[in-house]
Structure formats: structure tokens, C-alpha cells
Amino acid sequence: MSFNKDILPPELIKDRGSLHPINHMKDSIMSLLVSFGFEVVDGPEIETEEFNFDMLNIKKTHPARQMHDTFYVEEKLNLLRTHTSPVQIRGMLEKKPPLAFISGGKVYRKDDDATHLPMFHQVEGIFVDENVSFAQLKDLIYKIIYSLFGDSVELRFRPSYFPFTEPSAEVDILSKEGKWLEILGCGLVNPIVLENCNIDSNKYSGLAFGLGIERIAMLKHGITDIREFYKSNLDFLNQFK
């Protein structure tokens, strides 16, 4: 039999917590975009119709403005922002081009079912300078998607429609199962939006993009039910250490 003179106790394994997978994904994407040169800007979740819709060229008749799509508060004086774009409007009103902002956070839409929640997260970015083109937007989107999903992933651009961008596109990636999955929306900033922010659209142009964090986190982690994120179940959270 052998005895050690100095008995060492077993390793003390301290429990570590975890970041919420949505915040972790949001932070990862924002860090990536900061490494590309974007500056982080922040804004309120309670917004005015002016910043959430009007300044973004979303017409009074747009269905998104209806009570069945947007949460209004305090007798329609304000609303819960439906996207993080108003933060960029505030940024463009404060600073002169060239400018490159990203904003991330909670947004709200009046949905509640197995695939949609009334609260979800977005990261959006905007870059305004002279001669910004759609071809440069494509370069940026390729860099973002390759960083997130690896540079062997196949992607495609589809024409789409957003009132605040023109041309507008949606970007899909090809899953391992051979299905195209929508990942983000993007486009060149509509000159009307630039003018709304006192930016000369004859001199400057811009690109913008937005990603839904839950969607990307679901794809990256293989989660099929969006509601899992918000049950605060320790068995769920414990997996993201």
C-alpha cells in the first residue's frame, strides 16, 4: 500500500452559468460586424411612428402599421419598435456620412404562434458613403454568411421588397438537406430615407441589412421550436455553456 503524505482533495468543479443563446448569438454577430468596421449604436424599444415608420418610407397604408401587426402604447402616442431600424435613423440624424452603424436588440410584432413570438431579436446594420453599390452589399453579405456558416455554404440572393431599401434582396442559404433557408434581408438604402435624414442622396448612397437572431440561433443549434428560448428552463440553458 502506498500513502501520499500530502493528500490532495479532488478537483473542485465550480458550476459555471451560461449566456442566453440568443444574446450569445447577437453578441457574436455584433462582434463580427464591429471587426468589419461597424460602430454599435443603441436606441429605445418604445418608439414613435415617425421613427419606426415615416422616416423609413413605410407609408400610412402599409399593413405593418395596422393594430393587428404593431403594438401601440399610451393611446397610440408611441409603439413598440417593430425593427431596430429606428436606431439607425437616429444615428443618421446625429452624424454625417461616411457612417457605419449596427444596432441589435429586442423588437416586437403582434404574432404569437409556434413559429412567431411577439418579442424577438434583430441585428441591423447600415453603411452610408459615396458610391456605395449593390455589388459591395453582396461582398459584405458573403463575408457575414461565410463567417456564420462557413465558406463552403451555398447562398443565393432573391429580389424582395422593403420600403426602406431599393433594390431590396433576401438571402437564402442551402441547408444540408438541400432546402433553401431564408437568412437575412438587405438592400441599398432608399434615397427617400437618406433625404429624410438630411443626407444628400445625390452625393451619398448606403447599404443596409438585417438579421433575425432567433432564426440564425435555431439553425446553428438545431432548435426547432422558437418558444424554447424563452422558457428559462435550466435544462435548456445548461446546454449553452
Partner 1 sequence: MKIAYSHLVSHIQESPTLEMVSDSLFQLGHEHEVEGNIFNMEFTPNRGDCLSINGLLRDLSVFYTINHDQKFYTDELDNLQIDFENLSQDICPQISFLKLEIDNIPHTYKGYLNDYFIDLNINKNNFFTDISNYISYETGQPTHCYDANKINGKLIFQELNTDQEFETLLDKKINLTDKNSVFLLNNEVINLAGVVGGKRTSCSSKTKTVLVECAFFKPEKIIGKSIKYDIQSEASHKFERSVDPACHESVMRRFINLVSEYSNIKKMSFVSYKYEDIAAHKIPVNVNKINQIIGINISEDEYLSYLLKLGFTIDNSLITVPSFRSDIETQNDLAEEVARAIGYNNIPKKELSIPKGKISNNYDIENKLRYFLLDQGFYEVINSPFVNSSPDVSIRVDNPLDSNREYLRTNIINSLLDNLIFNERRQKDSIKLFEISDIYTLKDNQIERIRRLSIIASGRAGHNYEDFSKKINIKYLTKLFKEGLPGENFDFQILDRNSTKTKIKNEIIGCEVDISNFSTEVLNYKEISKSPDNFIQYCPISELPYSHRDLSFSIKDHTKCKPLEKFILEYDDELLKKVFLFDYFYNEKNAEIKIGFRFIFQSIDKTITETQVNNIMSVIIDKAKKLDDISIPGLI
Among positions 33-92, residues that touch partner 1 (CB under 8 A) are 34, 36-40, 42, 44-46, 59-63, 66-68, 71-76, 78, 80
8 Å CB contact between 41 and 125: no
Shortest Å, Cβ 168 to partner 1: 7
18 lies in the binding site for partner 1 (CB under 8 A)? yes
Instruction: State the binding string over 135-164 for partner 1 (x if CB under 8 A, else -).
Output: xxxxxx-x-------------xxxxxx---
- Smallest distance, Å, CB 32 to partner 1? 12
Least distance between partner 1 and beta carbon 38 (Å): 5
CA atoms within 13 A on the CB side of 51: 22
Is residue 230 a contact partner of residue 237, using CB atoms and an 8 Å limit? no
In this complex, which beta carbon is closest to partner 1, that of residue 153 or of residue 167?
Answer: 167
Q: Does residue 178 touch partner 1 according to CB under 8 A?
A: no
167 touches partner 1 by CB under 8 A: yes
Q: Are strands 99-108 and 39-40 parallel, antiparallel or unpaired?
A: parallel
- 175 binding partner 1? (CB under 8 A): no
- Exposure letters 94-110 (e unless 16+ CB within 10 A, then b): eeebebbbbbbbebbbe
Q: For the segment 183-202, give every residue that binds partner 1 (CB under 8 A).
A: 188, 190-192
Q: Tell me if 190 sits within 8 A of 197, measured CB to CB.
A: no
For the chain, how far is it from start to end, CA to CA, in angstroms? 41
- CA gap 176, 25 in Å, rounded: 21
Contact pick of 4, 152, 178, 198 for partner 1 (by CB under 8 A): 4
17 touches partner 1 by CB under 8 A? yes
What is the smallest separation between the CB atom of 10 and partner 1, expressed in angstroms?
6
In the bound complex, what is the minimum distance in angstroms from residue 124's beta carbon to partner 1? Answer: 14
Selected binder of partner 1 within 16, 151, 179, 198 (CB under 8 A): 16
Distance in Å, CB of 229 to partner 1, minimum: 7
Distance CA 85, CA 178 (A): 32
Residue type at position 53: F
In the complex, least distance from residue 139 CB atom to partner 1, rounded to whole angstroms: 4
Do β-strands 155-162 and 119-130 pair in parallel, antiparallel, or remain unpaired?
A: unpaired
Binding status of residue 174 toward partner 1 by CB under 8 A: no
Q: What angle do CA 213, 27, 31 make, to 5 degrees?
A: 115
